[in-house]
Structure 1
C-alpha cells in the first residue's frame, strides 16, 4: 500500500495544500486548506492507499515558501507525477518550460506542445492539471491577454502573474 503525505501552508494568497508521494513527487496541489479538494484530482493509478498529514514536506514545503518569497524558479526543481493520455502528459511537461513572467496564450501553448491546432486540448490540459504551481497552468492566458479561468480562482491567478511580472522582479534587485 502506497503512502502519501499532505500539508497545508499559509501563503500570500491563502492556504496552499500539497499531496506528496513517498518519493517526494507532488501528486496534487492547490490553494485550499481542504485536502479532499485535491485527492479527486490524483489519477486513479497514482492514488495512495494511505494519506497522512505531515507538517513539513521537505523540498516541497521549502519550494512553496521560497516561491511565495520571490524565488520563482524553485518550483522547477520539484518533481511532479500525473497520469493521463499521451498528449496531456506531454503538455504538462511543456508547461513546466514556460518561464515566470512570460505567460503564453492557449494557442501558443498548443504550438509549444507540438499541436498548434489543438487549442482546446491544451486548455483541457490546464483545466485537468492536478499539480498547480509546480505545473504552472496560471501562466496560460486567453488570446489578447485576458486571464481566463483558474481552478483556484481568478484572484489567485492575477496575484501569481503579478508576483512573476518582470517589473516586480526587477524591483527586487
Structure 2
C-alpha cells in the first residue's frame, strides 16, 4: 500500500490505476471509496487510508454507492479468469463465452476488459495468437506447421494477422524480415542522436545512440532504405517530443510484442506528461497486480523510445529504476516534463 501522501495524490487525480490497491475512508460521511471515485473530494484532514474494503468495513465504514469499491476486486479477478481462459483455449473463444465464464454481460465485460488491460478480448486473443505464431516460426521447419501450431484454422487468417501485427508475411518474419522495406534515418536531438525507422505500417524502432548496424542486427534480411518525405515528417515529430513532451504524438506504429507487452505499452501511453507511475501501478492498470516484475521487463522491451513513454515509470520507492537508453536520459526527460 502506498503512503498516505501518495494515496491522497491518487485521489486528487482520480487515478484508476490505483483502484484495488487501497481505499480512502471519509470520517465525515462514514464511507470508503476507491481512488478513481468521481465524487467531490473531502478535506484532507477528513481522509484516512486503509489497504482494502474489508479493513474499511472492520473500522466501521460503509461502501460508497457511487464508485462501488467492493466491485474492483471482483472485476480484476474476472479479467484474470478471462485471460486464463483465452490462453488455455485451442480456438479463439467468443466474447459471449468469455463473459458467461466469468459471470458478466458481454457488452459490460467488453468495456471492463479494455479498461483493465488496454485491449479488447478480441485484440488480446489476436496478440496472443500472433505471439504463438512468432514462437512457432522459430521452432517449426515448415511454415504451414507453424501456422497450425499457433492455433490458426487456416493459413489465410495467419497471413492476414501476420501482415497486420508482424508487418510482414510469416515467411518474411521467419527469414529475419526478408523482402520487407524498412526506411530509416538518424536525427540529432538535445539528448544525442536518435535512430528512427519504419515499415510501411508505421514506426518500428526509435532509439538513442543506435545506427544502421543495430537496425541490421534486428532485421538481418530486411531491405534497409533511406528516409522518404513521410519518414522525415514522422522523425520531426518524434524529435520534437524530446524537448516538448506535450507535442503531437499521433503517429502510426508497428510494434511487435506479446499480449501482455502490448497491454503494458498501451498503459504507458496513458500516463500524462509530467506524471509518473510505479511498475506496480502499471501491473495493476492492466489487471495483473501480481506481475510487477513482468511489467518492468515489458517496459525494458519497449522499442519506441519517448513515443511510448517508459521513462515515466519508477520503482515503488520513487527511485528511477532502469532505462534502456541510459539513466541520465531518463532523468533529463523527467526533468523537462516536470518543468513543462
Provide TM-score, normalisation by structure 1: 0.83
Measured against aligned partners, the alpha-carbon deviations of 1:78-132 in whole angstroms (never above 9, x if no partner) come to 1222222211111111211111111101101111122111101100111111111
Question: CA shift at 1:151, angstroms?
Answer: 0.9
* 2:210 is equivalent to residue 37 of structure 1: no
Which residue matches 1:50?
Answer: 223
Measured against aligned partners, the alpha-carbon deviations of 1:24-82 in whole angstroms (never above 9, x if no partner) come to x110111114233345557xxxx87211232752332121232234252422x012222
2:316 aligned counterpart, secondary structure: coil
Which residue matches 2:45?
Answer: none
* Distance across 1 between alignment mates of 2:274 and 2:198: 27
Classify 1:82/1:16 alpha carbon distance in 2 versus 1 (closer, same or farther; 3 Å). Answer: same
**Structure number having the greater strand percentage:** 1
* Deviating more after overlay: 152-161 vs 25-34: 25-34
**Structure number having the greater helix percentage:** 2
* 2:213 is equivalent to residue 21 of structure 1: no
Displacement over 3 Å in runs of 4+: 38-42
Query: Larger RCO: Structure 1 or Structure 2 (Cα < 8 Å, ≥ 6 residues apart)?
Result: 1
Q: Is the 8 A contact 1:30 1:38 kept in 2?
A: no
Q: Is the 8 A contact 1:28 1:41 kept in 2?
A: no
Question: What stretches of structure 2 of length at least 5 have no aligned partner?
Answer: 1-178
Larger-Rg structure: 2
Which residue matches 2:295?
Answer: 122
Equivalent runs, 1:143-162 vs 2, <5 Å: 143-162=316-335
Which residue matches 2:261?
Answer: 88
Provide TM-score, normalisation by structure 2: 0.44
* Distance across 2 between alignment mates of 1:159 and 1:115: 30
* Distance across 2 between alignment mates of 1:37 and 1:125: 20
1:7 aligned counterpart, secondary structure: strand
Question: What stretches of structure 1 of length at least 5 have no aligned partner?
Answer: none
Q: CA-atom RMSD, angstroms?
A: 2.0
